[in-house]
Amino acid sequence: MAADFQHLTLVRSDADGVAWLILDRLDASTNTLSRDVVDELAAAFDVLEKAPPQGLVIASAKPAGFIAGADIEEFTRIDSAEAARKLVGRGWELFNWLARLPFPTLALIRGHCIGGGLELALACRYRVVVDEPATKLALPEVMLGIVPAWGGMKRLPETIGAPAALDLMLTGRSVDARRAKQLGLADECVPLRVAENAARMLVKSGQSRHKPPLALRPLNGPLKGLVAARARKQVAAKAPREHYPAPYAILDIWEKFGGNALAVPADHPASLESIFRLPNAQNLIRVFFLQERLKGFGKPAGEASDFAPRHVHVVGAGVMGGDIAALCAWTGMTVTLQDRDIVRIAPAVARAAQFFERKARGDKAAKARQVRFALDRLIPDPHGHGLARADVVIEAIFEDLEAKRALFADVERGAKPDAVLATNTSSLRIEDIATALSTPARLVGIHFFNPVAKMPLVEVVAGAESDERLLGRAAVFVRRLDKLPLPVKSAPGFLVNAVLAPYMLEALRAVEEGIAPETVDAALVAFGMPIGPVELVDTVGLDIALAAGRALAGQGAEPPPRLAALVAGGDLGKKTGQGYYPWVDGKAQKGAVGDIPNGLADRIVAPLLAAARRCVDDGVVADADLADAGVIFGTGFAPFTGGPLHYVASQHETSVVAAPAVGDAIVHAR
């Protein structure tokens, strides 16, 4: 017997008495818990409660996954605290209803199970996850500046224990199927071929709901206060409450209100009223949509729709080239890595092995297999034999125009006619390099940032003649690496370096004036930056910062005296152990922070804001939203502001303080 709805299907089996509720949101590639879907779920629960089955399995008909959470578009339409309470109340009551249904319930999870999707699954008695790489479970609300208010703050600690639950809720990180089973978040982790049978057997098993071990239960009871206090200290070290109130709200709601956001008084800092009164949540939701827009550039479409890169050839086995090659190999592509000889390639392979070991998951044998297979895909190729088979060719040699021209003249002759030819240059114009090609339109830029594995943004650079089809393929390749492709035009510094350079320059100017590096960095971290600008210069490398500045400014410009002196003395920052700071075990050794002068952060940020505006005006990026996206994901610019240009608009500024042009970057001093 079946009952049909618009977004789901309810099917009852006469053979075993198990009902199946299949979610398939109409006209959408992904299941989200929009208001109409929530209403249909309530109607289905009503039907089931009146005629109870022996068990209920909730599953998805979408190839993309289980449920991707609430409909974020609905959050953007919340215009009052009352509206926020209604939205939260709808999900809270629905999942409480699911939890008290008078028969066993089970969520069969394949693919993503995110936010409200996981809260729905937690309201079920059982959870079965399909053992596939795409299966991911998470409560990422904190990353949107909100809280998992549909039961996650109550049921996740009850299911897996407070320490693991708080870690997931406060970071927003996901776990795969096997880790979910280890945590107790999933009752079973099974291959796809037996998933439905496993669900049938478990939902009728009579097995008790999973609870954390006895030793962990007091941490979700009488010891809550101690756990919460410790967690607050850890959060405070990374995210101040005034910038990111959501993690503090999660802790307060869990500790003091039983995980029920609706029970929090309106005047409490953790209340829904407090969260939605501030612009932080709306700004972080804005960042989410900016991220989705960047992802969209990498979706195969048009002439790039059939592009599936399988073989990448990287020329240059230095830090950047080697790390790009390692990332490509880890994501499943065959990679040939070329340099002058095997001796130059060996360190890159050694670094890749360490990277693979960090990324591998599972037991010892599983990790060993993953590392071995990835290393098998990374092939040292000093003679460049892989060039002729590559779908993507990436040049990552030193920043010398003539050397790059000579290389691409050879690459063009040896590569497949339809291969993407890309340079990883950070400061040279695509047009200038492309003069060496018989078909300059073949060259595009694919500009990674260091460290390659951690930085989410990759600039896809269009030269004046770059082929749009190849640019589309480059963006598809970037998404294959799980990175965010940002289309930019060829211009000095593109977007990210063009905004970073004047920002770092202004910070170094402040140091030249006698303000301690520690004070400068503290001012910008307090503003919301992930790392201070002086420490950033040390991390990038003083020689690289100086050379990039000169390349952007042109020859003859004078650098800040202390920067030039440090480079002349061989003190290049983190990599040599001494720069503006001494470095020990990879960490800057900082002295005491003095009093921060009023307006210091605004002064140092102003050139960045001006440069971002200029990049939009000059057409380096298509619009202000893309500038905001690029600067957030490429520099870590305070996400809670919504991006630099959004920040300017929110401050009701009519103009940005005039700042040095990009040509002044790094190398001019007062």
Lowest-pLDDT range, 103-107, 271-275, 336-340, 487-491? 271-275
Give backbone dihedrals phi and psi of 105, rounded to 5 degrees, phi first.
-125, 150
pLDDT at residue 304 in the model:
59
pLDDT score at 1? 46
Q: What is the pLDDT of residue 470?
A: 96
Residue 532 backbone dihedrals phi, psi, to 5 degrees? -70, 155
Lowest-confidence pick of 192-206, 436-450, 642-656: 642-656
Measured from the Cβ of residue 131, the count of other Cβ atoms closer than 10 Å reads 18
Give the residue-averaged pLDDT of 627-636. Answer: 97
Q: Residue 22: what pLDDT? A: 96
Binned at pLDDT 50, 70 and 90, residue 551 comes out as low
Q: H or E stretch including 384?
A: none
pLDDT for 592-609, tens place per residue? 998 999 999 999 999 999
Across residues 509-531, what is the average pLDDT? 95
Asked whether the predicted pLDDT for residue 663 surpasses 50, the reply is no
| pLDDT, tens only, 78-113 | 888 888 899 999 999 999 999 999 999 999 999 999
Mean pLDDT value across residues 315-326: 96
pLDDT greater than 80 at residue 390: yes
Q: How many CA atoms lie within 13 A of 82 on its CB side?
A: 0
Is residue 169 predicted with pLDDT exceeding 90?
yes
Res. 548: pLDDT tops 90 = no
pLDDT digits (tens, 9 = 90+) for 331-381: 999 999 999 999 999 999 999 999 999 999 878 999 999 999 999 999 999
Say how far apart CA 24 and CA 30 lie, in whole Å.
Answer: 8
Contact between residue 534 and residue 507 where contact means Cβ atoms under 8 Å apart: yes
With a cut of 90, say whether residue 456 has pLDDT above it: yes
Locate all alpha helices (DSSP H) within 360-394, ordered by sequence. 364-377
Average pLDDT, the chain: 92
CA-to-CA dists, residue 66 to 144, 303, 336, 386, 548, angstroms:
20, 30, 37, 40, 46
Q: What is the set of active-site residues?
A: 426, 447, 459, 497
Q: pLDDT band at 228, cuts 50/70/90?
A: very high
In contact, 35 and 41? CB cutoff 8 Å:
no
**Confidence at 653, pLDDT banded by 50, 70, 90:** very low
The predicted structure's pLDDT at residue 658: 42
Are residues 96 and 123 in contact, defined by beta-carbon separation less than 8 angstroms? yes
- Indicate whether 274 pLDDT > 60: yes
Confidence check: pLDDT of 669 > 60: no
With 50 as the cut, is the pLDDT of residue 662 above it?
A: no
pLDDT at 31 over 90: yes
pTM: 0.90
pLDDT value at 670 more than 70: no
pLDDT over 80 (residue 166): yes
Rounded-to-integer distance, Cα 611 and Cα 90, Å = 45
pLDDT value of residue 557: 60
- pLDDT value at 666 more than 70: no
**What are the residues whose beta carbons fall under 8 Å from the beta carbon of 632, sequence distance 6 or more?**
287, 290, 639, 643
